[in-house]
Structure 1
Amino acid sequence: MFNWIKKNFLRWAAHKGHIKTARLLIKLGADIDNILSTDLQADDYSNRIEILKSILNKGVGAKSKGKALLFAAANGHEDIIQLLLNKRVDAKYVEEALKSAIYFGHKEIAELLLEKGVDIKYIEEALADADAFNREGIIQLISDTEVGKSYIGRILVSAASLGHKEAVELLLNRGVDAGHIGKALRNAAYGGYKDIVERLLKEEVSASNKGKALCNAAISNNKEILGLFKGNIDSDTKEEVLYRSSMEVLELLFKEGVINEEDIKNYGAKLLFLAVYDYNIENNGYKAVWLLKRKVDVNFKDNDGETVLHCAARTGRQKIVELLLEKGADVNARDNDGKTALDLAKDKGYTEIVELLSNHKIGTKNSDKLSTSRLGEASVESVDQSQHAMN
């Protein structure tokens, strides 16, 4: 009973700022563990530091010091934080206190805790928290530390994902690598943050990341962001977009004028190759058909001298072979080994494709003979008419 009285009386004395009474109770052996956070609740007394020193000098457990640190960080007690840090608080409490200071926006306390040395993992978490709560001052503070600098890129991605325009600007001014800028652009495009997308597009971004960002904007059906890309993407980005887009995205980009018939003519051939080669993968069959309905160059050759017809013939894509023939694919084209699409189909044993290509070649020859015959008849008739006229 007496111990309970001493403990609670000490709490009262600390709360009221009665230094002498507090010191006496500590000397008498009052239980000082687990009361530090309570002692800190009142910040209007002038003697709190002296009382706290007395409590800490007596010796308290790590848990008590840790709880006190967390409470002080949350409530902005900078002087108490400094005192506790001098008493070697367990690192895990320092890290948690940093997160607490960030959550409540106590920049000066965050600075004190960072100076103490925080694990790299917690630096990243702290930056993420600062960004999540839009604490620009703390973002600036952390990003100026040596460890924080290595995480600026990741936090830029986070800021862009959450739509924090001011934080994005702040971090860009501190120097972020192109890879993280690209990822931030992709996330901002997906999230629909037009201002951030517009800002990031002014930075150096790879064609791959621009293409992915454009696809993300299309997936989100954000026409305002699509408008930022319209007429503002280079050939590499267009190729990337055509390569990565699903059918739904392709159709939307085409409808919105981000890509057009001329783009498909110029860059669609490589995509057609890929779509035919991976025909069984979801969407690729539809993509191949979609491209063939447009101005794609069906006789484009790759580095091996193959046309899309070669690719379709050796992979057994009969439907595509039929469409290619309808589009005027050259059945006589030879690859670098001197083989035609018919030769490749024979090698693979695709009898239906062999028959299809053979019949087409015969039909072409007959058509050529008929054309030659008609040309000859026309020439004879022309000569006869000339002679008749001369007579």
Structure 2
Amino acid sequence: MAAIMIAVALATLDTAIANTALPSIAADLNATPAASVWVINAYQLAMVATLLPFAALGGILGHRRVYIGGVTLFIAASVVCALAWSLPSLAAARVLQGIGASAIMSVNTALISAIFPIQRLGRGVGLNALVVGVSFALGPTVASVILSFGTWPWLFAVNLPIGLLALGIARGALPQTPRSQHAFDRVAALLNVVAFAALIFALGEGAQRAPLAESLAAAAVFVVAFGLLLWRERGHPAPMLPVDLFRRPMFALSTLTAICSFAAQGLAFVSLPFYFQHVLGRGQVETGFLLTPWSVVVALMAPIAGRLSDRYPPGLLGGVGLAVMSAGMASLALMPANPSSLEIGIRMCICGAGFGFFQSPNLKALMASAPRERSGGASGVIATARLLGQATGAALVALSFGLAGSHGPGLALALGAGFAGVAAIASGLRLVMPAVKH
């Protein structure tokens, strides 16, 4: 678990650091706020496009080998990010970093499932959510401290010692997992990469209000590649895109809940740094500390919610948590013109409490509603849903900036409240779904 959690912390810390430092990166590289969102989008595009192929590869080669390869690539790409000299070069390096993070996250939950028995899986995913929350909490603070003493390239350099520690522990500690007997379908993997990369690109270009032809072309590529992928994998016993799992209502609703909730989180964490600095006039260091309460409360709530998920239905826990998160984001969008730090902190704590109460039960619901032998595919769907949501949120932030200018962050937060509300409804619907027995 130590080996797994260090890598999760590595990928999460990097996301939180990049979100917090986005205004500084944009200013230093002479990029507009909307264009700088590609520092986030490039990372997420690479992850979304490769998660399911890596999950399938983990089932064939072993989750341990995919994890170690991902950590190695992530370390190397972090060095390239630190040496970037322009927005395009940084975005390209972030693509490589995203591929490494994808390999890590695609097998993360499957490895946890291999360690914990199903009746205690809630505790395992609760620990995972705790580490994610702590990493998100540390991210803004680490970014603020580093930026107070140095420049943004050092934000990526901090990945090197953490990555080497994760790699050292993983080589001797990670468990071997059963391997599938079927071969890796390279054609399906290519179609998956093309489909999801085109989807994220279409979202990004549409949000940037680029020429309509570009967005439509990317959307058309997605539709064609996705259709070919479904045709290619029809009848496969363990498809790379596990459409068979979506025939299970609990799995489908849990996935929808995850996408909407992480879209709400993405809208918040990409827009709030600009809101605090450009609208409220707060400094870089103060921005980091203002973002911290959300993640601290997530970290505190995650293990509690994980234990409760072993006793109470995830639909109830997730519905309550996401309703609280929706109310918290609405309160952020409706803040007075000159709020105090305490007023901001209380609202951030409300959002964090709601999100932390949802996350662990939803992870358990997804893993428990899939057959044990399909844990790799379920793990890939979990990570894909999270990143599709975050990428959608980041794209909508860019669209909000384009449509509303200086009022863009407020519009983004209002959209986030709406997404959290939809997620709460989807979570509540699971209360009427029958449990799946294995």
Bin for the TM-score computed over the shorter chain: under 0.3
Q: Give TM-score scaled by structure 2 length.
A: 0.15
> Relative contact order (alpha carbons < 8 A, sep ≥ 6): 1 or 2 greater?
2
Q: Give TM-score scaled by structure 1 length.
A: 0.16
Richer in helix (by share):
2
